[in-house]
Amino acid sequence: MLLLMNKVPLSRIAEITGLDRKSLYGKIAFIHRQCLLLAQSREKLLLEDFPLPKMYVAVDRQMHIVNWNSRKDRRNIQLNAIGTADIKTGYVFGMHLNFDETINPDQLKLLAKEAGDYNLTQPFRKYARFWLKPDYAAALIKGSSTAKRRITRALQIARGADTLTAEIMGEYEAAKDRDDIEDSDEKNSNIMLPTNGVQVREQYTMQAHFLLMAKMLANAPKVRFFLDQDSGFRAAFLAAFHDRVTARTADAWYVKVLKEATIDEKDQAIAASLRVFRAVKAANPGLTDFEIKVLMTKAEMQRAVSLGYPDDWWLVHPLPNKSEPAKHICWLTNISTYSDDHAARLYLKASLHPIDRFFMLVRRRLSFAERAYGSANQAGRKWYGYNAYRPDNLAKLLDIFRVFYNYSLKGSDGKTPAMKLGLARGPVAPEDILYFEPLTSTRKPRTKRPADIDKHSDWVADDKTLPPWAF
């Protein structure tokens, strides 16, 4: 398991362990089942009466590429994984790929034909959640909204807009250009549908992801979502949390972060914000540092501008850091009567860093998730040296890594995300995952949650009879 989690290619693992390919994939399937059993045994508590504090979570998606497996058709398969991570603990509640391995393309073709789906518009189909080949071919002809996004971005920059504002406007224009504003799947002639398993339309994956988050976070008195700018995310959140939004126990923000910046640009942005911070502090000597941050945010709230849609007001986060050197925020559910101070404190919490950090570790630790390199004779296509040839293997590795990250990978404080959230008392060793067996009696959830979430790992379960490897 540790070899898989440390970017050792499968060919090297086979060489080290002496396993043949069939046995190696069998071991991966076994590890995957064990990881799901462990996650199920812990996360089912969230669906019961496990106490949660106010939750602040970040949502983003990551693109993954599967290599072609035939020289006759050298197109890659592009899939997207949607992830949600807790800002305080880093716990990743879900990492869902828009892929279904339980059905193959030939079966889907037959089932769709029997159901009459080919003669119906998409909303009325029985298998509307899957990409059918005729629909995919039509999407390729229509093209993607990437060109629209790039043109809008270039025009905005030419008119004097900063890079991040130009990207925000580009996203809005690209969304308006789609037949379905929630459909953010990008199609081009260099990608194809899977040949093993079927590709799920991304808006269905989004809807399912947020519905699951609504169940997992139901015990939190309030939930705040910070979303990467995506019209599909907005729609899925509102569909899953509309009752809580109306009850004012759930809110959502768009967060747009400048991700491509040099070290010098990051240092300059941080230095500029520090100069402003010191000037405001000098002018208000009686305020604490946090009160100064709130004051700076309230000033930015007065300077917010409407972008994309009349009710989408964007402001600049006044205090960037190296992981997010520039950040613009839009409150999507601002229908409350919160005070300016309360609103400013919420804006200050806005971040995508926890989920982006998880995505970074996926790239660094999984050979199946590496970025591509190309050659001059590939006509725009890229070869992903160690990537999967079957999407189902990629899906398994992503599930395994989420469990490893949540329960085994310790941070600088010596705690795992699961320990910080209260779902584990200590790190779970990989060998304990491999030998894990579901318990016949469920562990009693704690009835009182510590005031400081970072100290809750000191809690000890009431049930002393559990074997040590269970935690």
112, 114, 128, 258, 390 from 109: Cα distances, Å: 5, 9, 12, 42, 20
Within 13 Å and on the Cβ side, how many CA atoms surround 161? 18
Q: What are phi and psi of 413, to 5 degrees?
A: -90, 5
pLDDT for the residue 452: 43
54, 229, 465, 471 from 429: Cα distances, Å: 30, 37, 19, 9
* 462: pLDDT strictly greater than 50: no
Section 422-449 average pLDDT? 73
pTM, two decimal places: 0.85
Count CB neighbours of 287 within 10 A.
Answer: 14
Instruction: Fill in the amino acid letter for 254.
Output: Y
Q: pLDDT (tens digit, 9 = 90+) per residue, 93-135?
A: 999 999 999 999 999 999 999 999 999 988 899 999 999 998 8
CA angle 250, 255, 256 (to 5 degrees): 165
Residue scoring higher pLDDT (447 or 404): 404
Q: pLDDT (tens digit, 9 = 90+) per residue, 155-171?
A: 655 565 677 888 888 88
pLDDT for the residue 247: 92
pLDDT for the residue 336: 73
Do residues 358 and 406 lie in contact, with contact meaning Cβ atoms separated by under 8 Å? no
Q: pLDDT (tens digit, 9 = 90+) per residue, 243-271?
A: 999 999 999 999 999 887 788 888 888 89
pLDDT for the residue 435: 87
